[in-house]
């Protein structure tokens, strides 16, 4: 495993093959356009379907290419998450633990497709996440909220978006989407033991591998600090 004194840049699975898919769609569209010039009258509907398929393929490829080059950057000092809609960044001293998100239902242990990050204080989110990303994460993490409601880890009322102002420990009042995200993170922390969640699609390997890697950096940083 990589030593924890190096910078690790992780490219999300969601970005893989973006250029290949885009070029494939473009080449296929060129071929279909050529066929249309000869066989449009005889096979109008099949050719139209093929054109639409090519356009969808190109669109999917472009969406992949629009994703950040690296979704996660791990350094000896901090952990940074990049998203199409913004980023968050935390020093290792601000992180309490990193774990696979699981839940026990009866005698069955269910593994969710997320990495959970528990912070030393939820207040540090206020200065460490972009507003656009905070707003986006509320919607992207709806499946987690629905899961928690279904498993009775939270009440239905707790799962409703809360846009009430959020008051930090120092008395600072947070409003708007950031306040809603802080309430959202607080509820998920009570249910699943983490303030932030990284979906498996943002990794380039297994969740367990990333958790092991990140915890190496976390332990090294804390030992160095003390």
CB distance 68 to 197 below 8 Å = no
Provide the residue-wise pLDDT of the chain in tens; the chain has 226 residues: 445 568 898 887 766 666 777 788 788 888 888 888 777 777 778 878 888 988 888 887 777 776 778 889 999 999 999 988 889 999 999 999 999 999 888 778 888 989 999 999 999 998 899 889 999 999 989 999 999 999 999 999 998 888 899 999 888 899 988 999 999 999 999 999 999 999 998 888 889 999 999 999 998 887 765 5
Task: Please check whether residue 160 lies inside any domain of the structure.
Answer: yes
Which structural domain range is residue 22 located in? 13-66
68: its two tokens? 């950040």
Q: Is residue 91 part of a domain?
A: yes
Q: Residue 193: inside a domain, yes or no?
A: yes
Same domain, 123 and 44: no
* Cβ-based neighbour number of residue 48 at 10 Å: 13
pTM (2 d.p.): 0.79
- Distance (Å) of CA 177 to CA 138, 143, 217, 221: 9, 19, 31, 32
- Residue 73 in domain: no
118/44 same-domain check: no
Residues 96 and 189 in one domain: yes
Q: Is residue 176 assigned to a domain?
A: yes
CA pair distance 48, 66, nearest whole angstrom: 27
Alpha helical stretches, state H, the chain: 18-39, 44-66, 131-140, 142-150, 176-192, 207-225
Question: Do 122 and 29 reside in the same domain of the chain?
Answer: no
pLDDT at position 196 is 94
């Amino acid at each position: 495993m990589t030593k924890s004194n190096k910078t690790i840049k992780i490219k999300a699975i969601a970005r893989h093959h973006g250029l290949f898919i885009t070029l494939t769609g473009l080449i296929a569209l060129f071929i279909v356009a050529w066929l249309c010039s000869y066989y449009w009258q005889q096979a109008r509907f099949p050719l139209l379907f093929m054109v639409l398929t090519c356009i969808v393929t190109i669109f999917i490829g472009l969406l992949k290419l629009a994703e950040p080059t690296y979704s996660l950057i791990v350094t000896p000092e901090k952990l940074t998450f990049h998203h199409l809609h913004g980023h968050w960044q935390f020093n290792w001293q601000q992180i309490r633990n990193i774990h696979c998100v699981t839940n026990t239902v009866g005698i069955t242990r269910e593994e969710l497709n997320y990495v959970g990050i528990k912070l030393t204080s939820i207040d540090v989110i206020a200065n460490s996440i972009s507003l656009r990303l905070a707003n986006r994460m509320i919607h992207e993490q709806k499946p987690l909220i629905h899961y928690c409601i279904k498993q009775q880890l939270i009440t239905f009322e707790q799962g409703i978006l809360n846009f009430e102002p959020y008051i930090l420990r120092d008395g600072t009042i947070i409003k708007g989407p950031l306040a809603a995200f802080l309430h959202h993170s607080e509820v998920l922390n009570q249910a699943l033991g983490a303030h932030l969640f990284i979906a498996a699609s943002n990794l380039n390997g297994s969740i367990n591998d990333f958790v092991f890697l990140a915890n190496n950096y976390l332990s090294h940083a804390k030992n160095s600090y003390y």
